[in-house]
Amino acid sequence: MEVYQGKSVFGGIAIGRISVHKKDEQQVKRVKIENPDLEIARYRQARQTAMEQLQNLYQKALKEVGEANAAI
């Protein structure tokens, strides 16, 4: 039998399958950018799109579960 330790979401004993996720080392690839202004514009557009998607998800949650739970 193997014993694992970690943070518990629910106290007590758990029986079932376990999945262990190990953090891999991240490597950042550096690339020379030919047109920094274009990359900044792409970033700003992606950020705007993400903000719109989050707002849409919030509005959907607001309708389905109410304001208190949608704020989570």
| DSSP type of residue 26 | P
The pair of three-digit structure tokens given for residue 60, joined into one six-digit string = 């959907």
Q: Is the pTM of this model over 0.75?
A: no
Exposure of 56 in the CB half-sphere (CA atoms within 13 A): 6
Q: Is the pLDDT of residue 65 over 80?
A: yes
Q: Is the pLDDT of residue 14 over 90?
A: no
